[in-house]
Amino acid sequence: MTATGPAKLSALVVAHNEEAQLAQCLDTLTFADELVVVLDKCTDGSKAIAESRADRIVEGSWDIEGARRNAGREACAHDWILELDADERVTPDLAEEIRAALSQHDDGYFLIPFDNYVGDRLVRHGWGAAWGVSAAARLSRKDSKRWGMERVHPGLELTGPERRLQHRILHYVDRDISDMIRRLDRYTTAKARDLRDNPDGVGFARNVRRIFSRFYKCYVGRKGYKEGKYGFLIALFAGLYPILSYLKATLEDE
């Protein structure tokens, strides 16, 4: 549908102890009509940063990622919501494109592509298989998107037309390889909790096969080979994610 008047935009950022980069993220969102920050179990200086910039702050403690993201969406006052994490940035060109898109449409959602960085290195190819995204539905009508109830990588319920923007979100996904390893540990621990609560029926042998199928998907199918050793690392971690999650779920209690 074509928009009939100027649409208002809420920008939503969900953060947990992100004082090192929250300000840089929020400063790229001043073009929005409202800035909402969800603070999840923050014990650092994130609250002070949010108070100096946000129109609305939601504080709480969530074990389920989907639940905290839905809480943030519900706190937004406007019909359109742009969702970012603290390690992501909106460029001026993307901000302009978002405003133009909202002046033309009043339904559905938009996929926004990503430029993912490891340290200072732009790594554009190879992301996927639960180990990073190349595009995501980050701009949506408030009634067109709802997050699922998983701890990590929650599913999405999306309604209305799907459209796509051209300019990219800058995503500083990992500082270095050690940071990537720590992220793998966090993600697999959270996924293991989901598996203990809701087993998916996938056993040891199939998860072992996933090491190779997911590596191939990222390194070959998603052209990770173009990124050299970084592409190999991404494919390797994507392959390890399911088996490590499974082993944590079956060999550990928490």
Residue pLDDT, tens place only, 85-132: 999 999 999 999 999 999 999 999 999 999 999 999 999 999 998 899
pLDDT 10s digits, 27-52: 999 999 999 999 999 999 999 999 99
184 with 169, same domain: the answer is no
CA nearest neighbour of 154 among 248, 73, 75, 95: 73
38 with 120, same domain: the answer is yes
pLDDT at 142 over 70: yes
pLDDT 10s digits, 179-224: 999 999 999 999 999 999 999 999 999 999 999 999 999 999 999 9
Q: Is residue 16 part of a domain?
A: yes
CA nearest neighbour of 50 among 41, 64, 37, 69: 37
Would you call 120 exposed, middle or buried from its count of C-beta atoms within 10 A (0-12, 13-18, 19+)? exposed
194 with 222, same domain: the answer is yes
Query: Where does a domain end: 174, 206, 230?
Result: 174
Question: Region 10-20: what's the mean pLDDT?
Answer: 97
How far is residue 5's CA from residue 245's CA, in Å, rounded to a whole number?
48
169 with 194, same domain: the answer is no
79 with 187, same domain: the answer is no
CATH number, position 169: 3.90.550.10
Query: Where does a domain end: 174, 196, 231?
Result: 174
pLDDT at 4 over 80: no
Per the structure, how many domains does the chain have? 2
One-letter amino acid at 84 equals: L
Domain encompassing residue 230: 177-251
How far is residue 46's CA from residue 14's CA, in Å, rounded to a whole number?
11
Q: Is residue 146 part of a domain?
A: yes
184 with 85, same domain: the answer is no
Q: pLDDT confidence of 225, banded at 50, 70, 90?
A: very high
How far is residue 39's CA from residue 57's CA, in Å, rounded to a whole number?
7
183 with 82, same domain: the answer is no
How far is residue 152's CA from residue 63's CA, in Å, rounded to a whole number?
10
140 with 153, same domain: the answer is yes
91 with 168, same domain: the answer is yes
144 with 226, same domain: the answer is no
User: What's the full length of the chain, in residues?
Assistant: 254
Q: Is residue 129 part of a domain?
A: yes
- Give Cβ neighbours of residue 161 (< 8 Å, ≥ 6 apart): 105, 107, 108, 109
- Chain mean pLDDT for the chain: 95
Instruction: Show the tokens assigned to 171.
Output: 């995503």
Span of 1-5, 66-70, 174-178, 225-229 with lowest mean pLDDT? 1-5
pLDDT at 6 over 90: no
- pLDDT of the residue at 253: 84
Query: Where does a domain end: 174, 189, 209?
Result: 174
70 with 169, same domain: the answer is yes
pLDDT at 143 over 60: yes
61 with 158, same domain: the answer is yes
Beta strands in 128-224 (DSSP E): 135-141, 145-147, 156-158, 162-164, 169-174
- pLDDT of the residue at 210: 96
